[in-house]
Structure 1
Amino acid sequence: MAGNKAVVYKGTGRVGVEDIGYPDLVLRDGPGVNPLNVGRKCEHGVILKVVTTNICGSDQHMVRGRTTAPEGLVLGHEITGEVIEVGRDVEFMKKGDLVSVPFNIACGRCRSCREQKTHVCLNVNPDRPGSAYGYVDMGGWVGGQSEYVMVPYADFQLLKFPDKDKAMEKILDLTMLSDIFPTGFHGAVSAGVKPGSTVYIAGAGPVGLAAAHSAQLLGASVVIVGDLNPERLAQARSFGCETVDLSKHDNLGELIEHILGEPVVDCAVDCVGFEAHGHGPNHSEAPATVLNSIMTVTRVGGGLGIPGLYVTGDPGGIDADAQEGTLKIRFGLGWAKAHTFVTGQTPVMKYNHSLMMSILSGRAQIAKAVNATLISIDDAPKGYSEFDSGAAKKFVIDPHGSVR
């Protein structure tokens, strides 16, 4: 049987590449696997030969030691692959199909799934609604930064590309369908972006850049991206965004006023999450900064999309409250301004087919927007290090060297 190289969390600040063994259609015991999930039979699943799998900022939270992730956890929830084995109960997926895997694991049978709320499936994680591959407290489903991976509920979950050869020509775009493109799009949609909107995007990492490109696709008149990293801000400008450098200035409203003539936008998207820093030359970690700042600069009656990750357990939090996800948010301000808040994981399946068609038609240029950068699986530790240092790149792992 073939081996299976995978990217594994080795403790704070460290990842390694190890052979974890070829997968089968059972969820075996291992690091992070919920005891109630051990031995779960998945004849409704498939084995994929992974074509591309991406490093995500959510992975970085774990690698930095900012979650309760156990050592040995196999990482990776952004997966695109070729079906090479199908379970007994799979009817519609065939060997050779090239597919995108939503990062949310969803059964397709529960009330949440039937209501398109696949991000909070009731049947895949014994701890709480919602699950994902290779992620802490998500049931223990094995991650896909690997050569091969098992994917359950294949008929329901997998998005098949209609033409395999054409898909491979655009694979660096299509690989973003598993997470960051739908996540950025969901942030923009839930904030209420529409033709003519002025939009502020907090964070110029890959999700922020995906949200900015999504806002453009939705017809925004001006998209402003804020960050502390000049290299990432330059990447945002490369596809037509306005930018504000928050490492130099601490008054976001004034910076927006210089661009728009008024200190407010129609809607805003938080693509930073719980490791947010304050603004200005002497900035330090202040986890409620982004939430409070976007309430300040969003007009009365506006919307806030919050796809940025917030957690219930952060061992590295700056105080006892932050360590359990309790933040000092100016909720009264949001209430007074009649803001709409949308939080949580993104229901990828709600968007991925439409975004696939936007890519295949040439309308969406998401790989260019996020600066997709191909690496081998053996170079994954280096990719994690560069990404953590602030590189303006979205690292795409090619485990088999199959991307031209």
Structure 2
Amino acid sequence: MSGNKAIVYVKPGEVEVSDISYPDLILRDGPGVNPLNVGRKCNHGVIVKVISTNICGSDQHMVRGRTTAPSGLVLGHEITGEVIEVGSDVEFIKNGDIVSVPFNIACGRCPSCRKQDTHICENVNPDRPGSAYGYVDMGGWVGGQSEYVMVPYADFQLLKFPDRDQAMEKILDLTMLSDIFPTGYHGAVSAGVKTGSTVYVAGAGPVGLAAAHSAQLLGASVVIVGDLIEERLAQARSFGCETINLREHDDVGEQIEQILGTPEVDCAIDAVGFEASGHGEDGGEAPATVLNSIMGITRAGGRLGIPGLYVTGDPGASDADAKEGTLKIRFGLGFAKAHTFVTGQTPVMKYNRDLMKAILSGRAQIAKAVNATVISLDQAPDSYRAFDGGASRKFVIDPHGMISKTQHLEAAQQITK
């Protein structure tokens, strides 16, 4: 084989479908590849034929020009696929296995990985702990919004689905295991959600919706979701959440009081990150808005889960401090209320196997919660624009038509019954 098509970042506001090299088990030079990673041999890796790969809000930060991502960077860190080639050092993963690829790249050997802190692996990114596919300053591992991708450390990282037919039947749910379902769940766990909790989720994008669904799975009594876009709030209401329109009403506590009878919740989740907007009709970009608001409405002693992305370099920020990730946060308020803050990438492997079982049993309905929408690789540029415009959809790219074929087969079977 020699062909491979992928979604490539071109410049702010523009991505395109490009022909790229077919992967092999070496990390070769290319846009965004750390020079110290060039030539890295990956006999412990596999080549995956991509069944599904999703557009993520984190990708949008790069596409908007809000990072230092170079032109030509292959995007995509949410990958599910079929193993079609295994390296000589791979023992347990076999050709034909259908697998979920955690977006964190992790070696399984370093002290962090041995503690299940796979989000801060110490051996895969020469710049700092932590890495991901197709992302700026993450070591340069090639992204998976493509037809084929190389995955290193396969025996350690890959989550193999137990049954191929069952996996394809549930693929729209299972595709969320590479990132947003564990990320939303991590946000809820970090916030201390338990039976009876009242929970506020800032942001009704896919991660916020995944966090809200996760809070329900963990036993929350009330989940309140706040956003500026009514279409996204309608999606949150579709699976039983209360909602707050922050464009129409800027006082979060007042709206929470109307729902709960008190202006506070037990715990809160920031699923927005550094491109946050101020509340109200005229709210412009205000990157500390969410962090300050959730401190204000979370009870004393509560926990704040922060899966929303914050960066150390934001060339599109409105002021010099924000350009380097320095925000005007009311940390004194958090200190006075004895809040616990949990930040950073999600250690996907800590959660994905349990969440897989919740999906396969029918307990979790994550594809429905985030409005999974299947598109072709060629439709990805238009879908990036739609997502950037606030569309309440989780776009799932189907590079080989395998999902569409399965869906058509299932539809035909239903007709003939």
TM-score by shorter chain over 0.5: yes
Following superposition, the deviation at residue 2 of structure 1 comes to 3.2
Q: In the alignment, which residue of structure 1 is the partner of 2:312?
A: 312
Task: Give the Cα separation in 2 of the matches to 1:314 and 1:182.
Answer: 26
Question: What are the residue-to-residue correspondences of 1:53-72 with 2, within 5 Å?
Answer: 53-72=53-72
Following superposition, the deviation at residue 21 of structure 1 comes to 1.6
Q: In the alignment, which residue of structure 1 is the partner of 2:178?
A: 178
Q: In the alignment, which residue of structure 2 is the partner of 1:87?
A: 87
Question: What are the residue-to-residue correspondences of 1:13-162 with 2, within 5 Å?
Answer: 13-162=13-162
Task: Give the Cα separation in 2 of the matches to 1:62 and 1:102.
Answer: 20
Determine helix, strand or coil for the equivalent of 1:10: strand
Give the TM-score normalised by structure 2. Answer: 0.97
Counterpart code for 1:207:
V
- Deviations, residues 308-348 of structure 1 (Å, cap 9, x unaligned): 00000000011000000000000000000000000000000
- 2:369 pairs with 1:364: no
Q: In the alignment, which residue of structure 2 is the partner of 1:325?
A: 325
Q: In the alignment, which residue of structure 1 is the partner of 2:379?
A: 379
Task: Give the Cα separation in 1 of the matches to 2:152 and 2:178.
Answer: 15
Counterpart code for 2:308:
G
Q: In the alignment, which residue of structure 1 is the partner of 2:413?
A: none
Q: In the alignment, which residue of structure 1 is the partner of 2:336?
A: 336
Task: Give the Cα separation in 2 of the matches to 1:102 and 1:190.
Answer: 19
Counterpart code for 1:120:
I
Counterpart code for 2:267:
C
Q: In the alignment, which residue of structure 1 is the partner of 2:415?
A: none
- Deviations, residues 12-37 of structure 1 (Å, cap 9, x unaligned): 00000011021000000000000000
Following superposition, the deviation at residue 219 of structure 1 comes to 0.2
Counterpart code for 2:113:
C
Determine helix, strand or coil for the equivalent of 1:285: coil
Counterpart code for 1:303:
R
Task: Give the Cα separation in 2 of the matches to 1:19 and 1:164.
Answer: 29
Task: Give the Cα separation in 2 of the matches to 1:369 and 1:292.
Answer: 27
Counterpart code for 2:282:
N
Question: What are the residue-to-residue correspondences of 1:233-272 with 2, within 5 Å?
Answer: 233-272=233-272
Q: In the alignment, which residue of structure 1 is the partner of 2:10?
A: 10
- 2:168 pairs with 1:168: yes
Determine helix, strand or coil for the equivalent of 2:338: coil
Task: Give the Cα separation in 2 of the matches to 1:3 and 1:262.
Answer: 59
Counterpart code for 2:289:
T
Task: Give the Cα separation in 1 of the matches to 2:271 and 2:101.
Answer: 22
Counterpart code for 1:187:
G
Determine helix, strand or coil for the equivalent of 1:80: strand
Q: In the alignment, which residue of structure 1 is the partner of 2:297?
A: 297
Q: In the alignment, which residue of structure 2 is the partner of 1:278?
A: 278
- 2:202 pairs with 1:202: yes
Task: Give the Cα separation in 1 of the matches to 2:322 and 2:142.
Answer: 28
Question: Deviating runs (4+, > 4 A) in structure 1?
Answer: none
Task: Give the Cα separation in 2 of the matches to 1:75 and 1:314.
Answer: 18
Give the TM-score normalised by structure 1. Answer: 1.00
Counterpart code for 2:159:
L
Task: Give the Cα separation in 1 of the matches to 2:356 and 2:152.
Answer: 22
Counterpart code for 2:293:
S
Task: Give the Cα separation in 2 of the matches to 1:392 and 1:225.
Answer: 14
The alignment-based identity, stated in percent, is 82
Q: In the alignment, which residue of structure 2 is the partner of 1:223?
A: 223
Counterpart code for 2:12:
T
Task: Give the Cα separation in 2 of the matches to 1:137 and 1:320.
Answer: 20
Counterpart code for 2:361:
S
- Deviations, residues 324-377 of structure 1 (Å, cap 9, x unaligned): 000000000000000000000000000000000000000000000000000000
Determine helix, strand or coil for the equivalent of 1:185: helix
Counterpart code for 1:81:
G
Task: Give the Cα separation in 1 of the matches to 2:119 and 2:266.
Answer: 27
Gaps of 5+ in 2: 407-417
Task: Give the Cα separation in 2 of the matches to 1:227 and 1:199.
Answer: 14
- 2:398 pairs with 1:398: yes
Determine helix, strand or coil for the equivalent of 1:232: helix
- Count of residue pairs brought into register by the alignment: 404
Following superposition, the deviation at residue 387 of structure 1 comes to 0.3
Task: Give the Cα separation in 2 of the matches to 1:178 and 1:117.
Answer: 16
Task: Give the Cα separation in 2 of the matches to 1:220 and 1:113.
Answer: 31
- Deviations, residues 25-59 of structure 1 (Å, cap 9, x unaligned): 00000000000000000000000000000000000
